[in-house]
Amino acid sequence: MSGVLSYFRGLFGQKELRILILGLDGAGKTTILYRLQVGEVVTTIPTIGFNVEQVVYKNLKFQVWDLGGQTSIRPYWRCYYSNTDAVIYVVDSADKDRIGISKQELISMLEEEELKNAVLMVLANKQDIAGCLSVTEVHRALGLDALRTRTFQIFKTSAAKGEGLDEAMEWWALLVDFVFFLENAEIRDFASAVQR
């Protein structure tokens, strides 16, 4: 079914999804962005302001905004919320001292009206570091069980090693296919007829 949907999405077009990558400084946001874009780790420096890149995965195009995570920059995140389809929230799983701050920033961000319909992907990053919080511990520490009305998923990742990012992108692709399927009844009916 996913292949049929991808085919029709290609025929009828697919808007470029606007995604924000947010999280505290040092969480690995920029490393993830460039790992997704070019498939390898590139040397980065702390992001002051933002990076914006186009990421292509299968037949999908994402306009990805990587916003700096320093304390002085976080209040400006809201300037980028308008027209955002999804948020990738990156957590440094090895930074146990700041998991509470990460939770506060996540809650604050999710309360914003402009993000009420944005899908959330949480990346529990730096899972390759010994002694880091597990995905379950990150899930619990961020209070993700309280997100009853938001579509979200959490993934175990290591941007440095490229682990978990393919699974996360595959989830995006399936989710976009599903949304496209629901939003296009005529195409859905035609696709059903073709499969018979």
Binding site residues for GTP, as ranges?
23-30, 69, 125-128
* Binding-site entries for Mg(2+): 30, 47
Q: Write down the catalytic residue from 14, 54, 70, 195.
A: 70
The residue type found at 183 is E
Query: Which element (helix H / strand E) includes 52?
Result: strand 50-57
Is 70 among the catalytic positions?
Answer: yes
Query: Which element (helix H / strand E) includes 48?
Result: none
3-state secondary structure of 22: strand
* Residue pair 134/125 in contact by the 8 Å Cβ criterion: no
Separation CA 137–CA 129 (nearest Å): 15
Separation CA 82–CA 74 (nearest Å): 16
* Cα 45 → chain centroid: 21
Catalytic residues: 70
